Amino acid sequence: MNNFAVTVAWILAALFLGTAVLGFVPNPLLGKNAFFVTNVAHDLVHLASAVGFIVVAVLGEKAAVWFMQVFGVFHISIGLIGFMTLGPKTEGHLLNIIHINSFDNFLHLGSGILIVAAGWILRSYQHRFIFAHRRQA
């Protein structure tokens, strides 16, 4: 792990994996009757997200940066679709499968913005590092 984009991808993989595992364990933060409402389908999506981040972390910097940009936009979209799906209700199902609530939508929107921003910032950081490294050689 010699670059920051790969490190961030590993951190996001750990966060999504932790979220997936936490969803299967009764707790007040994440689960069926918790602050952030999830069901098995929602927990499996978190697990798939963790696997995606693990794969791109192994593949390297370019894959990690690209995945963060795409995944961030996807996550923002999930938050927006969640708001449109729920409307004035506080709880419901995304695509009639994934159990969500308003707090989930805010979290998806916020984390999506952070992840896509990380992808774009790391992309520009990646180019600066390459040029700075070439000048030293």
How far CA 74 is from CA of 70, 77, 89, in Å, comes to 6, 5, 23
Looking at residue 19, its pLDDT comes to 96
Query: How crowded is the C-beta side of 109, counted as CA atoms within 13 Å?
Result: 13
Q: How many structural domains does the chain have?
A: 1
> Tens digit of pLDDT for each residue in 31-72?
988 999 999 999 999 999 999 999 999 999 999 999 999 999
**Range(s) of the domain holding residue 11:** 4-136
Task: Tell me how far apart the terminal alpha carbons of the chain are, to the nearest angstrom.
Answer: 21
Grade residue 126 by pLDDT with cuts at 50, 70 and 90. low
The pTM of this model reads 0.86
Using alpha carbons only, give the angle 61, 2, 49 rounded to the nearest 5 degrees: 45
Looking at residue 65, its pLDDT comes to 95
